[in-house]
Amino acid sequence: MRRRWSFILGIVLLGMLPLRAANAAAAPAAPVVLVIGDSLSAGYGLETGAGWVALLQKRLHDKGLDWRVVNASISGETTAGGMQRLPALLQRDHPRVVVVELGGNDALRGLSLAATQSNLRSMVSACQYFGARVLLVGMRIPPNYGPAYTRGFEQIFPRVARLQHVPLVPFLLADVVGHPDWFQADDIHPTAKAQPVMLDTVWPLLEPLLRERRGGRK
């Protein structure tokens, strides 16, 4: 009798294996936080895994937050380029949170402030329409183009954040610019030593968005 029941139990357990495999396959994937930025987020001049976005993935894991970070940042990217790439990224990754870190290259090229603002608003609106929560990351520039342009550029980010009702990191390099030795030889791109500080600048505004687990538009 015991052998018979053992045989029956074995058949039942074997029959459950495909069901368990199917359930595992159907398990929802980790939600995505998409970072779309320029060289400051792409990790220009750094070893793989040393940039602040890569460190973000490690921090999420260490804190037990089940998120997958997708870094869609490209060195030299402008707001116009980001706006063109964004729809495909939203369709591909279905992010619940999007970090927009763009604008610095617009200013370095002396591009229209009105166009930069319009592009950023369009990007934020697209993310919101898709159902994603957005964190806008601001930038500041040296006064190479005169005080009016410099001041106007800086004002873009709080204006877009206010109009689109999204949180803002005022200046990604706020706690880095005071350390000249934290920059690479070009005096533009931060070294590996600065990356944890940059993450600490972003984290207080980003963490609440990651803990708010609403579903996004599919």
Q: Which domain holds residue 201?
A: 31-211
Q: Is residue 90 part of a domain?
A: yes
Provide mean pLDDT across the span 59-73: 97
Residue among 116, 204, 210 at smallest CA distance from 124:
116
Q: Where residue 178 sits, what CATH number does that domain have?
A: 3.40.50.1110
Catalytic residue positions, numbered = 39, 186, 189
- Reported as a single tens digit per residue, the pLDDT across 113-126 is 999 999 999 999 99
Give all strands of the β-sheet with 168-169 in edge-to-edge order. 68-71, 32-37, 97-101, 133-137, 168-169
Question: pTM for the whole thing?
Answer: 0.86
Q: Is residue 25 part of a domain?
A: no
Q: Is residue 217 part of a domain?
A: no
Q: Is residue 101 part of a domain?
A: yes
**pLDDT at 23 (0 to 100):** 42
Are the CB atoms for 79 and 120 separated by under 8 Å?
yes
Q: Is residue 216 part of a domain?
A: no
Count how many domains the chain has: 1
**pLDDT at 144 (0 to 100):** 85
